[in-house]
Amino acid sequence: MTGHYDDSGFVPLNIAVLTISDTRTEETDKSGAVLRRGAEDAGHHVVAKEIVKDDIHQMRAIFCRWIADPHVHVILSTGGTGIAGRDSTPEAVNPLLDKPIEGFGELFRAVSMEEIGASAIQSRAFAGLTNQTLIFCLPGSTGACRTGWQKILEPQLDHRTRPCNFAQMFRS
C-alpha cells in the first residue's frame, strides 16, 4: 500500500461542537471548551459551537442542521450520554446515523476503565457516520472529553495516522 498515504502535512477538518446540558452556559461550559481547544490546538477549524438543553427534539434540530451543512465534517458533542433521567443523546442521535461506529464506544469505555474504573460502564458514548458527517458523542465530564479527544479523536482525525483514520474520507 505504498502511495496510499499523502504525507503533505496536516489537513484541517471543519468541526462543530455541541454541549448538551440543562445548566451550562458559555461561561461554565468546561467540557465544550476542552473539545474546542483540543480541535483548534490540533489545527482544525471549529466552525460552530452551541449549547442545547437535553431535549431530544432541540438536539435533533441542531444535529440535522449541521449534518445537512456540507462544510461540517465532524460533530463533537458532550453530555447526555449517561443513564440519568434526562440523558437522551443516544435516543436523539442514533436514529439519524447511517452507519454506527460501534468501536468508538467500546474503545472509549476501555480507555475510561483505566482512568475511572468500573464506573466507565455507565457511559453510553457512541459515534457514527451520516451524510458524510462524522458524529462523536462523549460524556459531559471534562475528564471524559479530554480522554476522548487525546486518546481517540485527535489521532483518528489526523490523516497522517497509520494504518488508517477517519480523516481520509475528507481528503480532496
CATH number at residue 147: 3.40.980.10
In a domain, 133, yes or no: yes
In a domain, 66, yes or no: yes
In a domain, 160, yes or no: yes
Local confidence band at 20 (pLDDT 50, 70, 90 cut-offs): very high
List, in order, residues 6 or more apart from 73 with CB less than 8 Å away: 13, 14, 15, 132, 133, 134, 170
- Tens digits of per-residue pLDDT, 145-159? 999 999 999 999 999
* Structural domain total, the chain: 1
- 126-130 vs 133-138, strand pairing mode: antiparallel
Mean predicted lDDT score pLDDT of the chain: 93
In a domain, 141, yes or no: yes
- Please state the rounded mean pLDDT for residues 48-62: 97
Residue 19 cell numbers, joined:
454541549
How large a percentage of the chain has pLDDT more than 90?
84
Query: Residue 166: pLDDT above 80?
Result: yes
Alpha-carbon dihedral 145, 122, 161, 100, rounded to 10 degrees: -110
**In terms of residue numbers, what domain contains 45?**
14-170
In a domain, 59, yes or no: yes
* Residue 9: predicted pLDDT: 78
Query: Residue 1: pLDDT above 60?
Result: no
Local confidence band at 131 (pLDDT 50, 70, 90 cut-offs): very high
In a domain, 32, yes or no: yes
Local confidence band at 92 (pLDDT 50, 70, 90 cut-offs): very high
